[in-house]
Amino acid sequence: MAKGHAGAAEYLDCAKCARYQEWNCGFLPRLPQHPGQYPLPRDAPRPESDTCPGYLIQLPLAQEALRAHLHWDKGQLDHFVGRERPSPHLLELVEVAACAVSEMQAARMNRDRDG
């Protein structure tokens, strides 16, 4: 990560976070008219949501989508769902997770290439 920018470890350690309201933590009431000001890697686009990514990734739906994506990536989604076909809703979540993982991997490769 670029110097001065938080990594995933900082976003995901809510117990140590001192920037709850500054980063628009979803566990607390939002400050009026306050956009989230969490740091991003160099040249990263500002996400549509201004809620702290550490909060968002901890939501049960996000966790389920990421777990399903791990199984889908190995061709084992049917084992994850325990029935013949996954629901269209779960497939959509897996597609969103797959896109997010691909974007993250591309950003990491670009960052490594550019030094």
Q: DSSP string spanning 19-86?
A: -TTTTT-TTSPPPTT--------TTPPPPS--S-HHHHHTSHHHHHHHHHHHHHHTT-HHHHHTSSS-
Residues 94 and 72 in one domain: yes
Are 69 and 99 members of one domain?
Answer: yes
Q: 36 and 67 in one domain?
A: no
Split at pLDDT 50, 70, 90, the class of 36 is confident
> Which of the residue ranges 6-10, 19-23, 42-46, 56-60 would you say has the lowest mean pLDDT?
6-10
Model confidence, pTM: 0.68
Query: What secondary structure does DSSP assign to 45-58, as a single string?
Result: PPPS--S-HHHHHT
The verdict on 76 and 28 lying in the same domain is no
**pLDDT tens sequence across 46-103:** 777 788 888 888 889 989 999 999 999 999 998 899 877 888 999 999 998 898 888 8
Domain boundary among 55, 70, 90: 55
